[in-house]
Amino acid sequence: MCGIIGYVGPEQAQGFILDGLATLEYRGYDSAGLVYIQNNEAHLFKTVSRVEKLRELVNSTGATASALSLVSERPTASGLEVDSDWLRETQTSRTNGTVKRVSQEAKPDIPEMLAESSALHSSRQADPEVVVGIGHTRWATHGAPLERNAHPHTDSDKQFYVVHNGIVENFQDIKTMLEAQSVTFKSDTDTEVIPQLLAYNYRKLGDVKEAFLKTIRSLKGAYSVVMVTPLSPDTMYAARLSSPLVIGIGDKENFIASDPTPIMEHTKKVIFLNDYEAAVITAESCEIIHIKKGKLAKRIPEELEYDPEQALLGDHPNFMIKEVYEAPQTVRSALLGRLRVEQKLIKLGGLELVEEQLRYIDRIIIVSCGTSFYASLVGEYLIEEIAGIPVEVQQASEFKYRVEPLNRSTMVIAVSQSGETADTLAALEKVAGYGVLRLGVVNAVGSSIARLTDAGVYCHAGSEQSVASTKAFIAQVTVLALIALYLSDGNTPLYEEMINELDKLPAKIEVILKLEPAIKKLAKKYIHHRDFLYIGRRYMYPVALEGALKLKELSYIHAEGYAGGEMKHGPLAMIDENFPTMALALDGELFEKTMSNIQEIKARGGPVIAICNDPAKLKDLADDVIKIPKT
Ligand code: M6R
């Protein structure tokens, strides 16, 4: 996921942008860049490397001799929230942080990087006190991770500088049209058409704002775009369609970013741009324009609340480990105020809002992507078994193109950590006209999905910085279990047992976390294998899929997840001594079946690591075992 950051105000924009980009690093990226405009002069920097390299380049040019870095102090209190309803939380989000400033040290390493500056004769007199700048972390989609493909992109005359998230679907049409006008493109990206088209429109209209709006109106696809130009040296121009942008309103300075994380240390007041909205932002003003209607939109800034503790790494080596260790607290937070063990009650304030409509639901479709999709599959099994309502889970990217009957007794649930995933948003938008009830199971408070749905239940997992989702999966499964119990209205023999088990879950996860040294040892033993299989049955099947995704994503080792029963229908052919299997062999009615699958694998010489409740039962069969508590 790419990241966008922007600043306009009296400070050194570069310092804020570099710190903002560092905050956005958690999204993953392969190149980074920034441009700032001071005294009508644009200074552009790019690197196919880390943000720290970009900082070195900026500092080494002498352009930022006094550049400042913003560092958060350690917070003192936790901001855990008790459950409150969807609407209230959706309208207010989070922040606050203490900021101190320290100066930077520069270690130049110029050869790998690009720095250039260009001056234009501006139609406006630059205010020497105001600096404007934008930055970007890029995850390559159109074009390899090369310097020429890194953002910001500019037009041939270096007038307009653009950062962009999303995809310009009609970029080829625009490019062809501009090439016919002798415009030469320098990059392989879809993004470059934006500044080039902007320059073309500006030549015709002679007005930056009008040229920007005209350009944005020509784009098809999904975008969040931020633009600066020496022609208007104290202004940022931004626009959004299906890709998030949030504006931070400061005191004589304003901010913009693709998510609130980098701005929340500086201001609590924010405006989340809606689809088809553009913004013209100076240090003292923020004008929002509806792109299609061309009219001003009235938007009142929201107050963010944020617990900065979540954003800090603490003693952990990386965010993923930190978040794995937060799993027990994640479950506690998801259950807090909702699981009333004494009263044997599930209280979901967000669903009470749509109580009446829920009575008529006879079919549920869950839409989601990636890890959230696998959590949704667990949710499917849970809701069907506990609440007896038929559920199907669809990958949002497929669902949006399917033609299928929907009616008012169907409910669509969107499951998403970020609440901003374009395919999941598009799936929700697709069902807008059918009168179906739309629920959200979302972690990010105030996110687009939270705002688009009729009701929902927040995951309360706190901020998930690691791109590899772990605690969000756990929170989603917990919340889906609560929804299943809520929908059952107590009419399931499992009701009490489930409530008691959910209550014990955090303590059981703590037991598993203590296994880290033993699991590390196992990882070292198997580190040289290049292929892994994960198998499980019933609830363990989606867990096997998620396990395989995590291994791929984090170690670049090929891994596949399969339902144990599918092994004999083809995949067994792959198994040999170089293809280990992670078998999810927990006690329960399907344990014997999983044992049979393990036998099949052993018969082909495949090593087996079993995750089980009772290692004695796997003696002489599994090569290694990881014992976890029974639930
Ligand atoms: O924010 P979302 O839950 O909607 O994101 C969906 C997927 O992109 C996400 O779950 C992804 O698969 C994980 N981060 C991978 O670990």
What is the rounded distance in angstroms from the CA atom of residue 337 to the CA atom of residue 301? 29
Q: Is 367 within 8 Å of 464 (Cβ atoms)? A: no
Six token digits for residue 585: 């062999």
The number of helices, as runs of H, and strands, as runs of E, in the chain is 19, 29
Q: Is 368 within 8 Å of 420 (Cβ atoms)? A: no
What mean pLDDT comes out for the span 497-514?
Answer: 96
For atom 4 of ligand 1, the residue with the nearest CA is 416
DSSP-derived letter for residue 169 is T
429 lines ligand 1 (CB under 6 A): no
Start-end of H helices in 489-618: 495-513, 516-526, 540-555, 591-603
Q: What's the gap in Å between 417 CA and the centre of ligand 1?
A: 7
376 lines ligand 1 (CB under 6 A): no
**154, 159, 193, 229 from 175: Cα distances, Å:** 14, 18, 6, 21
> 49-53, 79-83, 138-142, 563-567: which range is least confident on average?
79-83
196 lines ligand 1 (CB under 6 A): no
Backbone angles phi, psi at 511, to 5 degrees: -65, -40
Six token digits for residue 359: 């009575």
For atom 8 of ligand 1, the residue with the nearest CA is 370
pLDDT band for position 178 (50/70/90)? very high
Q: Which atom of ligand 1 is least distant from the CA of 470? A: 16
Q: Which atom of ligand 1 is least distant from the CA of 468? A: 16
For atom 12 of ligand 1, the residue with the nearest CA is 370
Q: Which atom of ligand 1 is least distant from the CA of 424? A: 4
pLDDT band for position 433 (50/70/90)? confident
pLDDT band for position 77 (50/70/90)? very low
Q: Is 17 within 8 Å of 68 (Cβ atoms)? A: no
Q: Tell me the per-residue pLDDT of 417-432, one tens digit each, with 9 for 90 and over.
A: 999 899 999 999 999 9
For atom 15 of ligand 1, the residue with the nearest CA is 468
Respond yes or no on whether the N-terminal peptide bond of residue 301 is cis (omega within 30° of 0): no
Maximum C-alpha span of the chain:
81
Query: Could you give the 3-state DSSP secondary structure of residue 488?
Result: helix
Q: Is 485 within 8 Å of 478 (Cβ atoms)? A: no
**Alpha-carbon dihedral of residues 585, 590, 592, 593, nearest 10 degrees?**
-90
416 lines ligand 1 (CB under 6 A): yes
For atom 16 of ligand 1, the residue with the nearest CA is 468
Q: Which atom of ligand 1 is least distant from the CA of 466? A: 14
Q: Which atom of ligand 1 is least distant from the CA of 368? A: 4
Six token digits for residue 66: 């006094």
Q: What's the gap in Å between 628 CA and the centre of ligand 1?
A: 26
* Among candidate residues 627, 624, 577, the one with its CA nearest the CA of residue 603: 577
Instruction: Give the pLDDT score at 600.
Output: 94
Q: What's the gap in Å between 606 CA and the centre of ligand 1?
A: 31
Other beta carbons less than 10 A from residue 66's beta carbon = 8
pLDDT > 90? residue 317: no
What mean pLDDT comes out for the span 523-537?
Answer: 96
Q: Which of 320-324, 396-400, 544-548 is modeled with the greatest confidence?
A: 544-548
pLDDT band for position 119 (50/70/90)? low
Instruction: Give the pLDDT score at 500.
Output: 96
351 lines ligand 1 (CB under 6 A): no
For atom 10 of ligand 1, the residue with the nearest CA is 371
What mean pLDDT comes out for the span 572-577?
Answer: 94
Q: Which of 469, 480, 550, 556 to mutate to test the pocket of ligand 1 (most atoms within 8 A of CB)?
A: 469
Instruction: Give the pLDDT score at 139.
Output: 76
Exposure of 107 in the CB half-sphere (CA atoms within 13 A): 3
Instruction: Give the pLDDT score at 304.
Output: 78
pLDDT band for position 242 (50/70/90)? confident
pLDDT > 50? residue 452: yes
Q: Which atom of ligand 1 is least distant from the CA of 418? A: 1
Respond yes or no on whether the N-terminal peptide bond of residue 152 is cis (omega within 30° of 0): yes
pLDDT band for position 524 (50/70/90)? very high
For atom 11 of ligand 1, the residue with the nearest CA is 370
Other beta carbons less than 10 A from residue 204's beta carbon = 10
What is the rounded distance in angstroms from the CA atom of residue 572 to the CA atom of residue 566? 9
Q: What's the gap in Å between 115 CA and the centre of ligand 1?
A: 34
370 lines ligand 1 (CB under 6 A): yes
Q: What's the gap in Å between 179 CA and the centre of ligand 1?
A: 38
Q: What's the gap in Å between 370 CA and the centre of ligand 1?
A: 5
pLDDT band for position 114 (50/70/90)? low
Q: What's the gap in Å between 599 CA and the centre of ligand 1?
A: 34
What is the rounded distance in angstroms from the CA atom of residue 535 to the CA atom of residue 610? 10
Q: What's the gap in Å between 399 CA and the centre of ligand 1?
A: 16
421 lines ligand 1 (CB under 6 A): yes
